[in-house]
Amino acid sequence: MRGDRLNALLLILPATAFLLLWFVAPLCRLLSLAFTGEAGGAESLWTLLSSNVYQRVLINTLLVATIVTLLTLVLAWPVAYVLTRLKGIGFMLMLYGVLFPFWISVLVRTFSWMLLLERNGPINRLLMGLGVTNQPLALLFNETGVLIGMTHVLLPYAVLPLFSAMNRIDRRLLQASDGLGAAPFDTFRRVYLPLSLPGLFGGGTFVFLLCLGFFITPALLGGANAMTLSMLISSFVTDRLAWSLAAAGSIILLAIVLVLMGLAMRLLPLDKGMFAK
């Protein structure tokens, strides 16, 4: 038994050392920076929490994350459902279409949206050509552009958990519901939707957590007109060299993420969510 325990400890030692060196140590340094403001103690944290500007940025970050999460789930649902119905080459092509964005840099995709959403871009020209609007719409450097870009980037993260949950639903249950005389909507509401909720909730949680720390897309498509928490932290470092404020903002963001992950794990165990077999 002692030999087995020693072997197990030796096996996990490299991973433990890696985590301590590259995760725990930087996190401890971040904590120390957050409590080393000019006034000492938790002054940096209190400065941020009592600031109206920071409160507005935090609310805007949560609002953008919520809207993007809802948009991705609405768009991901039919895509995931169609994936479960396809077979053969059709399934491979559609799955490739979902996975292909992972192989393209987020920066490249964001720059592409900048070209599409500009005042003289293809989208505005199309809307004007169709008579939808008489003048170019302001789709760039505001929250509209941020929502469009983030939804596009994060959509695959919602499709895959939903597909995983839907693919595990026993089709015989749907046939039984139809055989018992239930209408298609009743079958969906009472059978299909409850069984797919783990994937819906898991994908939504994943997308929401990614939205909280997203930086590149909001910075390029929104700019100063759509400030998020990650952009504010970057501004503290690059513009003001206020390391204590940046660390305090990071700690607050980390605390929000940990709380949400804790709630998600309580409401949805990992073996029934995104990582279910």
Task: Give residue-wise pLDDT tens across range 188-225.
Answer: 888 888 888 888 988 998 899 999 988 989 999 988 77
Q: Radius of gyration of the chain from Cα atoms?
A: 23
* Closest to 252 (Cα-Cα) out of 11, 49, 67: 49
Cα distances (Å, whole numbers) of residue 138 to 118, 144, 228 = 8, 8, 19
Q: How far apart are CA 241 and CA 12, in angstroms?
A: 39
Could you please report the per-residue DSSP string of 49-80?
HT-HHHHHHHHHHHHHHHHHHHHHHHHHHHHH
In 10 A of CB 191, how many CB atoms? Answer: 18
124-132 mean pLDDT: 89
> Hey, what amino acid is at 127?
L
Q: How far apart are CA 159 and CA 219, in angstroms?
A: 25
Using 50, 70 and 90 to split pLDDT, how confident is the model at 277? Answer: very low
pLDDT digits (tens, 9 = 90+) for 29-65: 888 877 776 555 577 777 788 888 888 998 999 999 9
Tokens standing for residue 10: 């030796």
- Cβ(191)–Cβ(111) below 8 Å: no
In 10 A of CB 145, how many CB atoms? Answer: 26
Q: How far apart are CA 193 and CA 206, in angstroms?
A: 19
- Cβ(99)–Cβ(234) below 8 Å: no
Using 50, 70 and 90 to split pLDDT, how confident is the model at 276? Answer: very low
Which top CATH class is 51-272? mainly alpha
